[in-house]
Amino acid sequence: MNRRSQPADIAVTEPDDIHTGAIKDHAAGVPAVAVALARGLEQMGPVRTARTLAKLNQREGFDCPGCAWPETPGHRKHAEFCENGAKAVAEEATRRRVTPDFFAAHSVDDLRERSGYWLSQQGRLTHPMYLAPGDSHYRPVSWEQANQLIADELAAMSSPHEAVFYTSGRTSNEAAFVYQLFARSLGTNNLPDCSNMCHESSGSALGASIGIGKGSVTVPDIESADLIIIAGQNPGTNHPRMLSTLEKAKHNGARIVAINPLPEAGLMRFKDPQKIGGVVGHGVKLADDFLQIRLGGDMALFRGVARLLLDAERAAPGTVFDHEFLDAHCAGVDDYLSSLDDVDIDEIIAATGLTQAQIADLADAVASADRVILCWAMGLTQHRHSVATIGEGTNVLLLRGMIGKPGAGLCPVRGHSNVQGDRTMGIFEKMPESFLAAQDAEFGIVSPRDHGYDTVAAIGAMARGEVRVFFAMGGNFVSAAPDTEFTRTALARCSLTVQVSTKLNESHLATGRAALILPTLGRTDKDLVDGVAQQVSVEDSMSVVHLSRGSLAPASAELHSEVAIVCDLATTALGADHPVEWQQMRRDYNLIRDHISRVIPGFEDFNIRVRLSDGFVLPHPPRDRREFDTPDGRAHFAVHPLDWVPVPEGRLILQTLRSHDQYNTTIYGHDDRYRGIKGNRRVIMCHPDDIAAAGLRAGDHVDIISEHAGEDGIVEERRVDGFELVAYSTPRGNAAAYYPETNPLVPLGSVARESNTPVSKAVVIRLEPSVTAS
Ligand SMILES: Nc1nc2c(c(=O)[nH]1)N[C@H]1C(S)=C(S)[C@@H](COP(=O)(O)OP(=O)(O)OC[C@H]3O[C@@H](n4cnc5c(=O)[nH]c(N)nc54)[C@H](O)[C@@H]3O)O[C@H]1N2
Ligand SMILES: Nc1nc2c(c(=O)[nH]1)N[C@H]1C(S)=C(S)[C@@H](COP(=O)(O)OP(=O)(O)OC[C@H]3O[C@@H](n4cnc5c(=O)[nH]c(N)nc54)[C@H](O)[C@@H]3O)O[C@H]1N2
Ligand SMILES: [Mo]
């Protein structure tokens, strides 16, 4: 802190009047390149921009911190990134800094008044900071002091279950492994993660159906499929590199069906900015069919399709179902088929909002394709009946034998770049006995066996005052979690909250009695230990594990890697004679990989195979051998009663989603270019007839009130103020608004059955004209 004067805060453009324009009919193209470069130049300057983007997703470079879409094996393009990946990198590799001077100039109360956008635009955190009980400002602390403060709180717990260790999905395999090892050495399985709010429903459904919670396809499978169904996903914004893969599939003759309440630009047409045709032409039409389904209607659609497949099979036996596959590999077929006799096509039409012809057309496409892939993301996973919905989609593929053969399979498209790897490494409140036993044998520890808290359960425990220490390995818990105000109050009941972070966010201001900010290296940063550059690994959405090496000089000499942070804390908290060799692992990540290779199946010779040019693919028994790791070794048909989301009289169903200019809770800007909404994020998209029926007009400002019947049956209300109404193409009764602004509306008690994922895509709301309208 030898700066003489406090550097000026970074000024940001706060939201303005909103401008709405036409919904775009295509994604990418020249504006995407321009936006990516502009963000890079603004945050990094020209030299750093060129250097950084050149290393993005290259073999000798770092894994994009954007999404979990895989690189194309064998032939990576020189520029294997997209507009939004470049934005994610610019955010991390920015030259702006949040120093101790910044914290001296801003009290916590002052920072609480700022927007999340303003906070994240201030730059990279540079020093460990401590907010003492009752203090108004964060003040610098040494790493030793910080570790001692945490260790003292952990030692004061009356049970190890008073500690909660959250993980966001950017954490590397190596960091995740030592982190869960620390939690379990301490004696708790309280390891909630962002996946609990994300693809947990996919894991629950696929685990039950096919015995593994991961997708069964590779990039070459997608490129050679002949029918690709994309349900509940907006790849143009959230997985833009997927569009190049889809373009190839299209070129090879695939038919693409988009199932979405919104006509998302990326699904309609794609202009590859890395090709000349993408710069000047009209781009490639991607979706052949767009089914504008009602929110929560997908289970009904899949059941309708399954019933039509059954009818066709009955009419011409042996022509639709894959009997060989069903006989050799599946269980529960008869029960499932007899449940289809109850399907009432009128209910399917009501639930989906589609026509009978559209449903029949999809069934025909599924019946006649040789290679079918089903892709999905949050539009399927964040509903009350998500596990049943994904189970039903899986049933449709099983009927046709579409698992474990080239060009076919299940493709849950993951979010965070290493969320799948973190789970493989043991970030899960209920890891199986096989993992715990192998880990205990490797390290000579005794892991607890009782299940820990997931995200929603952790918030409940904090609210009851049963959590003393909340530790977050990345992420932005208070903004990402449902029921923002409740979650904030719950966090305030902890004695100590600790955030390991790269950038400032709202969770640094939603503190316990005391709080710590521990600044860490990101993906782009060089991780030097005693002069030797350490490498980490990640697993993408298709189970490929590969290395990631940062190359930039860190934002300050005070930044520690996530691995170092965990290992140093473990040494302080567990004592020097703990059986785990924390300090050796801290100094050489190869040792961590050696341990992983002995604990987790599929990681044999980890240190050798991870250095192969494309890394290595983890085993996936259904994909590789049509083997199913279920109790009877068979794939199981899921039989659930039909569930969907009717719209109560005078109410709307709200989905909360991402704009084109954000990464989860990190807001890059106020434009949602593809949806034609510019200048402000406090908007709610509604069908024009719903706006008129409410006696309102597009452009009016409204308060959004959510309604949820609590356990006692009493209807609880939650409110956010001052949202501008935008007339938009969405089914009647369905509305959309951005996350995290609308998280205060999502009730903590509204969760998906089995997976406990917050229902972020179906919130019952009503609108009232804003009195505070500008
Ligand atoms: N640039 C960028 N990239 C990201 C992220 C980001 O914020 N920004 N986030 C990352 C993360 S963690 C994740 S999980 C993924 C998220 O990727 P997505 O799942 O694409 O993200 P959402 O914006 O939540 O979009 C959900 C999509 O599902 C549709 N949908 C909503 N409800 C339903 C429904 O009931 N049925 C159907 N069929 N469709 C529905 C919505 O209209 C929308 O198109 O992206 C990852 N990549
Ligand atoms: N209403 C609603 N809520 C949702 C969703 C929704 O669709 N609707 N989506 C849910 C989903 S899919 C997800 S995945 C969650 C996301 O939940 P989180 O993962 O908790 O949230 P992020 O916004 O991705 O976290 C951003 C923060 O991570 C930190 N960070 C970034 N990179 C690194 C790193 O390399 N290391 C460390 N230690 N920290 C880093 C930065 O400080 C940054 O501020 O939100 C969920 N919440
Ligand atoms: Mo996610």
- Residues 92-145: pLDDT tens digits? 989 999 999 999 999 999 999 999 999 999 999 999 999 999 999 999 999 999
Q: What is the structure's pLDDT at 111? A: 98
* Ligand 1 pocket residue status of 237, Cβ below 6 Å: yes
Mean pLDDT on 297-308? 98
Burial of 109 (0-12, 13-18, 19+ CB in 10 A): exposed
Mean pLDDT on 34-49? 77
Residue 402: pLDDT above 90? Answer: yes
Cα of 413 vs centre of ligand 1, distance in Å, is 10
What tokens does 744 get?
Answer: 């205060």
Cα of 207 vs centre of ligand 2, distance in Å, is 25
**173-196: per-residue pLDDT in tens?**
999 999 999 999 999 999 999 999
- Other C-beta atoms closer than 10 Å to the C-beta of 530 total 7
What tokens does 142 get?
Answer: 């040494």
Q: What is the structure's pLDDT at 271? A: 66
* Ligand 1 pocket residue status of 756, Cβ below 6 Å: no
CA distance 401 to 391: 15
**502, 520, 655: residue to mutate for ligand 2 pocket, most atoms within 8 A of CB:** 502
Q: What is the structure's pLDDT at 4? A: 42
Q: What is the structure's pLDDT at 1? A: 38
Residue 521: pLDDT above 80? Answer: yes
Q: Dihedral of the CA atoms 713, 715, 716, 717 (nearest 10)?
A: 170
What tokens does 336 get?
Answer: 């499932």
Q: What is the structure's pLDDT at 3? A: 42
Backbone angles phi, psi at 295, to 5 degrees: -50, 130
List, in sequence order, every beta strand (DSSP E) within 383-468: 409-412
- The ligand minimizing its distance to the Cα of 169 is 2
* Ligand 1 pocket residue status of 89, Cβ below 6 Å: no
* Ligand 2 pocket residue status of 192, Cβ below 6 Å: no
The CATH fold assigned to 121-193+418-547+558-611 is Rossmann fold (3.40.50)
Cα of 662 vs centre of ligand 3, distance in Å, is 13
Distance of CA 619 to the CA centre of its chain: 23
Cα of 480 vs centre of ligand 2, distance in Å, is 6
Average pLDDT, the chain: 93
Opening angle at CA 341, ends 336 and 343, nearest 5: 100
Cα of 482 vs centre of ligand 3, distance in Å, is 14
CA distance 22 to 27: 13
Gyration radius (Cα) of the chain, Å? 25
Mapping DSSP to helix (H, G, I), strand (E, B) and coil, where does residue 548 land?
Answer: strand
Confidence of residue 773 (pLDDT cuts 50, 70, 90): very low
100: CB partners within 8 A, 6+ apart: 1, 126, 127, 129, 139, 140
Confidence of residue 272 (pLDDT cuts 50, 70, 90): low
Residue 17: pLDDT above 80? Answer: no
* Ligand 2 pocket residue status of 664, Cβ below 6 Å: yes
Cα of 664 vs centre of ligand 2, distance in Å, is 5
**Taking a C-beta distance cutoff of 8 angstroms, is the pair 748, 486 a contact?**
yes
Residue 280: pLDDT above 60? Answer: no
Task: Give residue limits of the domains in the chain.
Answer: 121-193+418-547+558-611, 200-412, 652-769
Residue 208: pLDDT above 80? Answer: yes
CA distance 115 to 65: 23
Cα of 291 vs centre of ligand 1, distance in Å, is 17
Q: What is the pTM of this model?
A: 0.95
Class of domain 652-769: mainly beta
**92, 233, 477: residue to mutate for ligand 1 pocket, most atoms within 8 A of CB:** 233
Mean pLDDT on 188-205? 98
Mean pLDDT on 693-713? 95
Q: What is the structure's pLDDT at 163? A: 98
* Ligand 2 atom at minimum distance from 416 CA: 14
* Ligand 1 atom at minimum distance from 382 CA: 32
- Burial of 344-362, coded b for 16+ CB within 10 Å and e otherwise, reads eeeebbebbbbeeebbbbb
Cα of 376 vs centre of ligand 1, distance in Å, is 9
**234, 241, 418: residue to mutate for ligand 1 pocket, most atoms within 8 A of CB:** 234
CA distance 497 to 234: 34
Looking at 3.60.15.10, 3.20.20.370, 3.30.56.10, 3.40.228.10, the CATH number of the domain 200-412 comes to 3.40.228.10
Q: What is the structure's pLDDT at 274? A: 57
* Ligand 1 atom at minimum distance from 199 CA: 14
**Taking a C-beta distance cutoff of 8 angstroms, is the pair 125, 502 a contact?**
yes
* Ligand 2 pocket residue status of 416, Cβ below 6 Å: yes
- The ligand minimizing its distance to the Cα of 117 is 2
352: CB partners within 8 A, 6+ apart: 291, 293, 294, 297, 298, 300, 301, 304, 359, 644
